[in-house]
Homo-oligomer: A and B are copies of this chain.
Amino acid sequence: MNNVQEESLRDQKKFRRRLQILEIARGIIATKGLRSLKVRDVAEAAGCSVGSVYNEFGDFDGVILTVNRETVQALTARLSGVPAEDPVRQLYGLAETYLDFFAEHANLLRSLFEHRMEDDRPYPDDILQMVMDAFALMHPPLVRALPDADDVQIALLSRTLFSAVHGIISLGLEERMVAVPPQMLRQQVTQFLDAHLVGLGVLPAR
């Protein structure tokens, strides 16, 4: 067993193909939705056989889950880039960044939140954990904004607040429903945070 990166030709090709399959699958989900993702389409676009997809990902859910995993990672990266100088500003920033990200990658986020496993197989824990971690990004600014609050309470509040924002955005961007104009949705989110932060005593009443 050699742990050194061998960079063998075989591994290179395998890796390249893996990336290619993921890129193609992601593209199809993003543009045509998860339901339009087909093994054969992916294999053909990647220039390989369906067997290779299975060889690399185990089953088709494996492809979807890997795309979903990368979606959370990209989301977390974006959210982590929100400036942390002012905690209140950071909270608004997180919500607006989530809105932007959701608007840019609506179908990818739907895949993340709506995909169900076959039968009763469990959803991978690491993905769930990453989603929870992303939602916990409101924790630090909330701690700073509410110095007297219990840490456990803040953890719960963080999850609640982010879930609320998620609900507003995911339903607001639901093009199935009567679409909310993007600028209106932005205002909706802001006003929501306004009211809630006032209610929490973080902002003064108007």
Contact = CB atoms under 8 A, between A and B. Distances in A.
Interface residues of A, number: 44
Given A167-B170, A178-B128, A205 B195 contact: no
Interface in A180-206: 184, 188, 191-192, 194-201, 205
Contact of A200 (B114, B131, B195): B195
Contact of A163 (B117, B128, B167): B167
Contacts of A171: 159, 163, 166-167
Contact of A201 (B35, B167, B170, B205): B205
Contacts of A22: none
Contact of A177 (B33, B132, B198): B132
Contacts of A157: 191
Contacts of A194: 199
A30 interface: no
Q: Which of A116, A119, A132, A165 has the most CB of B within 10 A?
A: A116
Nearest to A206: B201
Contacts of A191: 157, 160
Given A34-B116, A198-B199, A199-B200, A168 B160 contact: yes
Interface of A: 33-36, 110, 114, 116-119, 122-123, 128, 131-132, 156-157, 159-160, 163-168, 170-172, 176-178, 184, 188, 191-192, 194-201, 205
